[in-house]
Amino acid sequence: MLLVFYRARYLLRCLREIYFPTLRQVKGNLDLDLSEKRNKRVLMIVHNDFFNAKGGVESYVLNLYNRIGKSKGGFDFYYLARVIIKIKNTERFIRIKIKIMFFI
Amino acid sequence: MSDGNIYSLVNQKLDNLFSEFIFKLQPDIVHFQHYIHFSLTWFRVIKKILPKTKIIVTLHEFLGICPNSGQMIKTKWQGFKLCDNSTVENCKNCFPYLPKDVFERRNINVRKYFKYIDLITAPSNFVLERYKSFGLKNKMLYSENGQEIFRTLPKIKSEKLRLLYLGQINKFKGLDVLLESMNKISNKEVKLSVYGKFQNDKNYNNKILKMVDKLQNVNFYGVYNRNQLPEIFSKHDVLVVPSIWWENSPMVIQESFMAKTPVLCSNIGGMKEKIIDGKNGWYFKVGDSNDLSEKINYFFENIGIFNNENFKVKNIKEDIKNLLKIYKDIV
């Protein structure tokens, strides 16, 4: 019985995985305003907003960002991450998460 | 299109957005610090649109080879034991309610899309070895994460042995093992301070809170921030890292070395790799509170044996210099 419950939960999560990314994609905000390419470009990808997320990898990338900034050693750096915006409605106890792409 | 398999690491619905982005940006190097929550197909997208662009992936966990949150720990169905080998059979045993082909497809995806990666780096040889064992043939390079060095404060002297736990509080981090060992230590001169944030596991959090309540030799301080580290370390003699999962390259160990503080950690994986026994720390049998108690008592008698010169940490400036060299060599 327990295995059936877990199997059903897995299937529901799979369905969510199929449909939610579409919403995420619609909300994606990757408008680029790029100047002429003068240096080689490095795109660094990390899964959470490293300015606010507390994970070890995010802290490490934030340290890199603080030291490297947008240009270093003949390379221009760009960073791509996800941002999770939490909107909390305290009256109705509703918490909404919106996931969007984030680009520097 | 997502294949609907949450363990597949593939979700092609994001590919169009990413393709458009990559085409506009025209990067020469794409360096993935993470690929979770995106899609393995992004490696193929990059090579399809910009064949000359180089892909570097830094591995910070075992996500590509372990569907259990990349921890290489077996699930509750297998008693949360450490997993030594990522095989379809082992994964199936961890998730008995799923068909075997879920894991076969996942492994096929990892092997298929990782072929597009030009260089894999990791701050732990242990992690690289695990991925090699999985069968990946990519060029791999060990590169320790550099740290932003903070100022250190002199140790505040004390007759007591002041132990320190720093970091997230969840079942993989093994704080319960440390608290069990504190319960077994009768020496009143041994104290433990716990700094960290609870994660979303109510049962485990309640268990920890109950244990802390009963122990006279443990103080719980809750969340800390990095600015407090010099002061926190100045008041403690030993950092304890009792994780029951392998870990990769725990930042907290580097921070402890920065503060010239020895580390007592579990004898497995990426943690053990950082410790030179008796030089900058000591390790104990993973998950064994008796062995941990013995090692704590040993520390009480021998805290003076550690030489500050053995606490070496890679500076972030040095790391960036290495990183730029890697980039120049690869493009």
Report the alpha-carbon distance of residue B244 to residue B80 in Å, rounded: 9
* Per CATH, domain B12-146+319-330 is 3.40.50.2000: yes
Task: Closest CB to A42: pick one of B31, B316, B319.
Answer: B31
Q: Which residues of B touch A78 (CB under 8 A)?
A: 25, 27
Supply the mean pLDDT for chain B: 92
Helices (H), chain B: 15-25, 41-49, 88-94, 100-114, 125-134, 175-184, 202-214, 229-234, 251-258, 269-274, 289-302, 316-330
Residue B299: predicted pLDDT:
87
pLDDT digits (tens, 9 = 90+) for B106-118: 999 999 999 999 9
Indicate if the pLDDT at residue A54 is higher than 50.
yes
Residue A98: predicted pLDDT:
46
pLDDT digits (tens, 9 = 90+) for B125-138: 999 999 999 999 99
Mean pLDDT of A70-82: 87
Q: What percent of chain B has pLDDT over 90?
A: 71
Residue A56: predicted pLDDT:
80
The full length of chain B comes to 331
> DSSP class of residue B310?
G
Domain locations along chain B: 12-146+319-330, 161-310
Report the alpha-carbon distance of residue B89 to residue B103 in Å, rounded: 9
The minimum CA-CA distance between B133 and chain A, rounded to whole Å, is 24
Q: Which residues of A touch B15 (CB under 8 A)?
A: none
**How many CB pairs (< 8 A) connect A and B?**
125
The amino acid that residue B98 corresponds to is: L
**Among the listed ranges A1-5, B133-137, B158-162, B203-207, which one has the minimum average pLDDT value?**
A1-5
Indicate if the pLDDT at residue A26 is higher than 60.
no
Domain locations along chain A: 2-103
Q: Are A18 and B98 in contact (CB < 8 Å)?
A: no
Backbone angles phi, psi at A22, to 5 degrees: -60, -45
Report the alpha-carbon distance of residue B176 to residue B211 in Å, rounded: 8
Interface with chain A: mutation pick from B3, B13, B43, highest number of A CBs within 10 Å: B13
pTM greater than 0.80 (yes/no): yes
B161-310 falls under which CATH superfamily? Glycogen Phosphorylase B; (3.40.50.2000)
Q: Are B324 and A67 in contact (CB < 8 Å)?
A: no
- Sheet strands side by side (includes B190-195): B218-222, B190-195, B161-166, B238-241, B263-266, B281-284
Indicate if the pLDDT at residue A31 is higher than 60.
no
Please determine, for the modelled complex, whether the ipTM score is greater than 0.95. no
The residue in chain A having the minimum alpha-carbon distance to the alpha carbon of residue B319 is: A64
pLDDT digits (tens, 9 = 90+) for B59-89: 998 989 999 888 899 998 898 899 999 899 9
pLDDT digits (tens, 9 = 90+) for B197-252: 998 889 999 999 999 999 999 999 999 988 999 999 999 999 999 999 999 889 89
